[in-house]
Chain A
Amino acid sequence: MQIILKNVYYNKFKNINLNINDNKITGIIGLVGSGKTDLSMLLGKRVLPTSGNIDYIPKILEDKIGIISNFSYEEMLDGSVKDFIVKKSVVFDYKIENIDERVEEVLKMVGLNKNILDKQVFCISQSEKIKILLSQTLLFNPELIILDGVIEELDSKSRTKLYKLIIKLKKFYNKTIVITSSDVDNIYEILDDIVILNDGMVIGSGDKFEIYNDETNNQFLPIPLTIEFKNKVKEKLNVNLGDNDSINELIKAIYREIR
């Protein structure tokens, strides 16, 4: 699903123009207070812009957009996991056919075992909590999933697991995914597109390799460590290491080109 923002005004945002591409993982990067949460609320139709247009192609309703934020953890106070997953469909009186089958299907998508359903929500681990939150969202079969401030509280291992899951949701279930983070190094490896915010302004957006290969951009944008290293090698040694996602790929490229 594609989203086009045209001349959007809201809170800090003044005249924002932006494209979120279909079936891509888009990262929203910005410092604290730059408007990451506001932008994800706008994209998720949870708030309306004061002026301007946000077009969804194809058109969808707001319950086809799933938002998970760091406040979602606070909703997990008591009750069983199963109650928690189906809670929203009960509260909003939203009819889902064959709900038991659907819950099982959703659990399979996030890679959880069926016997977690009887556990209590407050005594499961953090990485399971995020999977439960994802399955609660997936029950409505959303086209767009927004993760706002979710990865920060995870440790490295659970983060890697979540990244695999996100890539699976994109590849096999054709979801469009938006993730926010204040540190570009955290999420750079899984992104396709990148949107960089600075104090309510979009200072860069588009394909991540294109953005960082354009050298006029580099002075203003937060640069991931791998890219910084690559650029410096190019400057000093005149060797092009190509486009790398992770440190491992970077090391392989160095080994190949320099040795």
Chain B
Amino acid sequence: MNFIEVKSLDYSINKKKIFDNFNISIKKGDFVAIAGKNSCGKTTLIKLLGSVIISENKIQIDGTYINKFNKELIDNKVSIFSPNNKYFSKTVLDELMLEIKDKDSYSINKVKKYLKEFNMLNYLDQSPQNLNYVQKQKLSLIKALLKESKLLLLDNVFCYFDKYSKIEFIGLLKKYQLEKEFTIVCTINNLSDSIFCDRLVIINDGNILLDGSFDDIFKYEKILKLIGLNIPINYELLNKLKLYGLVSGNSLNIDDMVMELCK
């Protein structure tokens, strides 16, 4: 049984067709990246999956169809991350306590345990507005953990990270994915962010163009370039060196490439 099942989805904004008979199924516990050029419908898909926009009985999440009667049921299972999440609470602690229904000393300890693990215990009494981008995303992740969401939807979150914080954040994400069996769907602009995911889906013109592991998909460099996506820079370097017959190996490591040039 798939966790997410989208069948023959049609959706248009202002008479412009975004999705035309769109189908996708995602297994429980998968980490899926969705890529495509700007304004191809990535964010719309996230909104549809998170029941921000309601599509009548076309999308099934954990066995429940999204429609206007099931909205609350779906809301409890889903957390949406976006680059400009807004927090209106006075302190970080208040913001996190919003997610807890039975407030007792045990739950405060739980919140503190998470904050400690995320290296954010010092910010307990500070306003969420003072946090930097990485800390804001971590706060969203803790909120999702406390809410015990089943599905995390990350809308273009990775593009504002730097390399180090990206690895740190994805490490945390993967750790809890194994522990809590999250299903994660993220949208990306930069294909180099997809190397952390199990599966990469490229959307173009309202339909799936390519679907598979990132290694397979990066072979279609020309098609990707045509729709406005560049493969990661070290893949590009390797491919071009191969094209000129300068190296023959498959290693993406720069040291290995230079060693081969030496020969």
Contact = CB atoms under 8 A, between A and B. Distances in A.
A2 to B, nearest CB: 29
A225 B237 CA distance: 9
Contact of A153 (B133, B161, B189, B233): B189
Contact of A154 (B38, B233, B234, B236): B38
Contacts of A258: 246, 261
Contact of A126 (B39, B229, B237, B257): B39
A157 B14 contact: no
A71 B133 CA distance: 13
Contact of A185 (B39, B165, B233, B261): B233
Nearest to A158: B38
Contact of B132 (A33, A156, A254): A33
B165 A236 contact: no
B262 interface: yes
A228 B254 contact: yes
Contact of B162 (A32, A74, A233, A255): A32
B51 interface: no
A30 B241 CA distance: 30
Interface in B82-129: 83-84
* Most chain B C-beta atoms within 10 Å of own C-beta, residue among A126, A156, A251, A254: A156
A32 B134 contact: yes
Interface string B238-263: 00110010100000001101110110
State the main secondary structure of chain A at its contact with B: helix
Interface residues of B, number: 41
A248 B236 CA distance: 10
Nearest to B16: A123
Given A31-B162, A229-B254, A156 B228 contact: yes
B159 interface: yes
* Most chain B C-beta atoms within 10 Å of own C-beta, residue among A120, A123, A126, A182: A182
A127 interface: yes
Contact of A247 (B39, B83, B233, B262): B233
Contacts of A127: 38
Interface string A158-186: 10000000000000000000000011010
A107 B255 CA distance: 47
A200 B225 CA distance: 37
A49 B9 CA distance: 53
B210 to A, nearest CB: 15
A70 interface: yes
Contact of B37 (A157, A254, A255): A157
A156 B230 contact: yes
Contacts of B162: 30-32, 182-183
Given A30-B162, A250-B237, A251-B244, 12 more contacts: A32-B160, A32-B161, A33-B133, A70-B84, A126-B38, A152-B159, A152-B189, A155-B228, A157-B37, A182-B160, A229-B254, A247-B236
